[in-house]
Chains A and B, each alone.
Chain A
Amino acid sequence: MTDTVVSNTPAEAASIPGSDAPERMSWDSGLRRFVTIYLPLALFVIVLLFPFYWMAITAIKPDYEMYDYKKYNPFWVHSPTLHNIRVLLFETNYPRWLMITMGIAVASTFLSVASSVLAAYAIERLRFRGAQHVGLAIYLAYLVPPTILFIPLATLVFQFGLFDSPIALVLTYPTFLIPFCTWLLIGYFKSIPYELEECALIDGASRLQILRRITLPLAVPGLISAGIFAFTLSWNEFIYALAFIQSTEKKTVPVAILTELVTGDVYQWGSLMAGSLLGSVPVALIYSFFVEYYVSSMTGAVKE
């Protein structure tokens, strides 16, 4: 019994639980496995991905196909067109909205990650009295949803003279980015041996030198996690951007699609879908490069 457990490498061990290895040999026929595992899994994948397929296929459909299900099978596109995307890129402010969103996301990510690194370092490594309480307070800040903050924030933004300015978003996004990033980085700093810093201290390094030359380089994966998460969250943010920005040319992509492209009673579904598709591409791209960071930081942050 113990032998079999010991001989499992951690990776193998991780993949086996729940799959009832000994039992499978006795009765698990291929059919049963198909019905209990592969069929539901396939249904899940189809349902979870279908809206994206539908979005993509609508974006490249010509209008006459889009509204005629009798003549054209709606699940396929017979003569794909770039018309919707061309309209979006050349007849609306879409490229500008993309740039604005990108700028806001990058700036607020940078601001949040920089503040979070310092805060997480102070809480986890400088070991001052009350560090636990500061950590708890920041954790609680994560539980305050933006929907109860946007009204007072709107008046605050107005008083600061930042209404209708992207700077308002760069300054307010950190309210939900910093708690998350700090939380993530505290967990990450914990995994770096403190002895490394002690050695440097003995060698006469100053605290800032330690942070810059030892802790930060070792925490790069954690920084990437925090950075991509912050970027995605700011790209997705909606309610602040909706409440604080008024001019058409300063809107972020999610807000602009909903408020600028939805006009009148006839919806331009082709352009709407093309806009949604293009607006999802940056986060999807980043995601595809950093899937492992996403999964580990998401689950890591929850487990913390």
Chain B
Amino acid sequence: MGTAIQAPARDHRFVPAPGGWLTRLFDYKPFLVFLCLLPTVGLLTVFLTYPLGLGIWLSMTDSTIGQAGDFIGLENFQDLWDDPVFWMSVTNTIFYTTVATAGKFALGLWLALLLNNNIPFKAFLRAIVLLPWIVPTVLSAIAWWWIYSPQFSIVSYLLVDVLHLSDRYFDFLGTPWAARCSLIVANVWRGIPFVAITLLAGLQTISPSLYEAALLDGATGWQRFRRITVPLLLPILSVALTLSVLFTFSDFQLVYAITRGGPFNTTHLMATLAFQRAIPGAQLGEGAAIAVSMIPFLIVATLLCFFGVGRRKWQQGEAND
């Protein structure tokens, strides 16, 4: 705006607005606010808020792909209630989220504490440690799939042929529990960097004088960790935990890439089951019902993590810093 009429010599100053109605319109604050928010609010309304409502509506219809269905009330949910595969997906999802999150945070915190030491090549280490988180999940999941291969697994080779710890190759993805655990290991592997780097940032904001004071008071290493590190890490921990639980609970890629819900639908998460019923199975209504059943779990998990661990208000970070 207005570059054409601007003399180069006066570049550091602004030419007063020419005074046309258009210019005045652009200086009219409510209009400007409207204009600035329009793309974001427009896109989010059409492609996020509306689909959220539409999903709830779809879950109460018998829609199929390409054909809008009729309203059938809660029939989809009643069907799901009697569906053992659905219940297995629910327990799988809860198990997967709980164990994977615990693993990610335990190992991530450990890695953060290690990286917080005075070590050579710290910046470089921090950079390469983030790689699992950067690389597209599906692509690293394919690498895990290959690592879990029943005949050519490198882990089996290492344990059987090199270390002689076992006498036969593992069937990582062949039985339900082995497959669930293999998926959790892959998910933890992918989640550690995010937790570690986030917590490392939190650790670096803790003032060293606190540790020195505690040391003078005769606190042991565990006491310093328990009484200084943990409480001061809690705010950032609660945010990281909330995000991690949310995205682990709604995970899709890893399971779809490694097992596709197999063997015999025993490793389905709610998200993969919803996909399987809705897109390849063409039962949009039923898929939507599964997706909608995730919402209460997500809300409870989010509130638990955020208020339970952090005990802070939603807006605290936004309002004052």
Q: How far is the CA of A1 from the CA of B131 in the complex (A)?
A: 40
* B111-138 contacts to A (CB < 8 Å): 111, 113-119, 122-123, 125-132, 134-138
Contact A148:B140 (CB < 8 A) given known A143-B302, A298-B194: no
What A residues does B200 contact at CB under 8 A? 299
Contact A204:B14 (CB < 8 A) given known A144-B52, A174-B43, A303-B317: yes
A126 touches B14 (CB 8 A): no
A-binding segment of B77-85, B98-106, B176-184, B201-209: B201-209
A37 touches B47 (CB 8 A): no
| Residue A151 is within 8 A (CB to CB) of chain B in the complex | yes
| Residue A304 is within 8 A (CB to CB) of chain B in the complex | yes
What B residues does A302 contact at CB under 8 A? 198, 201, 236, 239-240, 243
Contact A258:B192 (CB < 8 A) given known A116-B40, A204-B16: no
Cross-chain contact of B117 among A19, A47, A119, A204 (Cβ < 8 A): A19
* A130-167 contacts to B (CB < 8 Å): 132, 134-136, 138-139, 141, 143-156, 158
Contact A236:B198 (CB < 8 A) given known A5-B209, A148-B292: no
Contact A145:B211 (CB < 8 A) given known A51-B143, A204-B14, A254-B138: no
Distance from A182 Cβ to chain B, minimum over Cβ atoms (Å) = 7
Distance from A3 Cβ to chain B, minimum over Cβ atoms (Å) = 11
| Residue A194 is within 8 A (CB to CB) of chain B in the complex | no
* B207-255 contacts to A (CB < 8 Å): 207-209, 211-212, 215-216, 221, 229, 236, 239-240, 243, 246-247, 249-253
Distance from A283 Cβ to chain B, minimum over Cβ atoms (Å) = 6
Cross-chain contact of A243 among B154, B279, B314 (Cβ < 8 A): B279
Distance from A258 Cβ to chain B, minimum over Cβ atoms (Å) = 6
B14 touches A67 (CB 8 A): no
What A residues does B221 contact at CB under 8 A? 20
B119 touches A41 (CB 8 A): yes
What A residues does B74 contact at CB under 8 A? none
A209 touches B48 (CB 8 A): no
Nearest residue, chain B, Cβ from A119: B40
A54 touches B118 (CB 8 A): no
What A residues does B157 contact at CB under 8 A? 69, 74
Nearest residue, chain B, Cβ from A55: B143
| Residue B271 is within 8 A (CB to CB) of chain A in the complex | yes
B-binding segment of A76-84, A85-93, A216-224, A287-295: A287-295
| Residue B171 is within 8 A (CB to CB) of chain A in the complex | no
What B residues does A291 contact at CB under 8 A? 123, 127, 130
Distance from A34 Cβ to chain B, minimum over Cβ atoms (Å) = 11
Residues on A facing B (Cβ under 8 Å)? 1, 4-5, 8, 13-23, 37-38, 40-41, 44-45, 47-49, 51-52, 54-55, 58, 66-67, 69, 74-75, 111, 114-116, 118-119, 121-123, 126, 128, 132, 134-136, 138-139, 141, 143-156, 158, 171-172, 174-175, 178-179, 182, 186, 190, 200, 203-209, 212-213, 232, 235-236, 238-239, 242-243, 253-255, 257-258, 269, 272-273, 275-277, 279-280, 283-284, 287-288, 291, 294-295, 298-299, 302-304
Residues on B facing A (Cβ under 8 Å)? 1-2, 13-17, 23, 26-27, 29-30, 32-33, 35-37, 39-41, 43-44, 46-52, 54-55, 58, 63, 65-66, 68, 107, 110-111, 113-119, 122-123, 125-132, 134-140, 142-144, 146-147, 149, 151-152, 154, 157, 161, 189, 192-194, 197-198, 200-204, 206-209, 211-212, 215-216, 221, 229, 236, 239-240, 243, 246-247, 249-253, 256-257, 271, 274-275, 278-279, 284, 287-288, 291-292, 294-295, 298, 302, 314-315, 317-319, 321
Q: Can you give 15 contacting A-B residue pairs, CB < 8 Å?
A: A17-B208, A19-B117, A21-B208, A22-B212, A118-B35, A141-B48, A147-B251, A148-B55, A155-B63, A204-B17, A206-B2, A255-B138, A269-B152, A294-B130, A304-B318
Extra 18 A-B pairs, beta carbons < 8 Å, given A41-B115, A138-B40, A280-B135: A5-B212, A44-B129, A51-B132, A111-B43, A118-B37, A145-B247, A149-B51, A152-B51, A171-B47, A206-B26, A209-B1, A235-B136, A238-B136, A269-B146, A272-B142, A276-B143, A287-B131, A291-B127
